[in-house]
Amino acid sequence: MNAAIDAHGLSKRYRAGWALRDCSLRVPSGRISGLVGPNGAGKTTLLRLAVGLLKPTAGEISVFGWSPTDQPNLVLARVGFVPQDRPLYRHFTVDDILQLGRHLNPRWDQALAVARLTRLAIPLNRKLAHLSGGQQAQVSLALALGKRPDLLLLDEPLSNLDPLARREFMSGLVEVVAAEGLTVILSSHVVAELERVCDHLVILNGGRVQVVGDIDELLHLHKLLIAPRVDPKSISGDATVIRATHTDRQSAMLVKVGSEPVRPDWEVHDVSLEDIVLAYLGNPAAATLPAPAVEKAG
């Protein structure tokens, strides 16, 4: 089966500079992938490239095997996109916006959208401007799901939501995934929220892809080593040190383990996904991918 998203050497330059630089990544279908990175890392640019709102400056991106800009008719009907600011026509009622969805989308499922909103007790005759932030987020999600997408892209879906609304949003989302088996990519800079929901992770930093992979595998591959103070360069074997901190007696190193066993006199601890993400973000030179090709333009 084609990957939901496949990008090779994908680059995007705005007037102000490069937003994405030589990014290669693959998100298999059926996954819930978390797209993390600091503000300005290129997350939104990547999502906009995936729906053809932007055209790559160099490289290519395909969605289920098709180019979003060259073959939009094969891509757009299958993709739901909820941008960061959840743009909704504030003076429309919920019912109005569902009507709009029905007229604009060939695969529209009115019953599904209405059932979701009814279950959440969101009144269909209320104006969007009069709904809470959490309810507006749910309307955006229902609108995107009513389209019956095979791929759902959510840009910072949890921003401005209180903890209860976040929980309700996530639980509604995973329930749809369990029932329909669609692929989801959601961006966030709050990693803790992604850990239980996502099974795939992409770390973007400064316009480059640092890590792409299965979360279970990443957790399995990364360990915290505690050792008597050592120079991280002297660490034996083929482990890669992502982050090292030292006191005068001890060194703590978050490493990506290699094929050789760790020295038996060192303590080995499991790490959380958040530990891994923070270690990579703090060390932009580290990547689980082969080093990017030599830069072509600048």
Structural contact between residues 210 and 284, judged by C-beta atoms closer than 8 angstroms: yes
Distances (CA, A) of 35 to 44, 92, 100, 169, 267: 10, 31, 29, 17, 31
Interface contacts to another protein, rule CB under 8 A = 31-32, 167, 170-172, 174-175, 177-179, 196-199, 216, 219, 270, 272
Min separation Cβ 31 and another protein, Å: 8
Least CB distance from residue 273 to another protein, whole Å? 11
Q: Minimum distance from CB of 223 to another protein (Å)?
A: 13
Q: Is 17 helix (H, G, I), strand (E, B) or coil?
A: strand
* 108: exposed, middle or buried (Cβ count in 10 Å: 0-12, 13-18, 19+): middle
CA distance 163 to 184: 21
Shortest approach of another protein to residue 153 CB, angstroms?
A: 17
Burial of 291 (0-12, 13-18, 19+ CB in 10 A): exposed
Which lies closer to another protein via its Cβ, residue 164 or residue 297?
A: 164
Q: How far is the CB of 172 from another protein (least distance, A)?
A: 8
Least Å distance between CB 199 and another protein? 5
Q: How many other CB atoms sit within 10 Å of the CB of residue 15?
A: 4
Nearer to another protein, 178 or 293 (CB): 178
The candidate with the shortest Cα–Cα distance to 76, out of 60, 58, 53, is: 53
User: Which lies closer to another protein via its Cβ, residue 122 or residue 273?
Assistant: 273
- Of 55 and 220, which CB lies nearer to another protein in the complex structure? 220
Please tell me the distance from the alpha carbon of residue 76 to that of residue 149, in angstroms, as a whole number.
Answer: 9
What is the 8-class DSSP label of residue 51? T
Q: Measured from the CB atom, is 40 or 181 closer to another protein?
A: 181
Nearer to another protein by Cβ, of 28 and 72: the residue is 28
3-class secondary-structure state, position 195: helix
Q: How far is the CB of 248 from another protein (least distance, A)?
A: 27
Closer residue to another protein in complex, CB, 130/220: 220
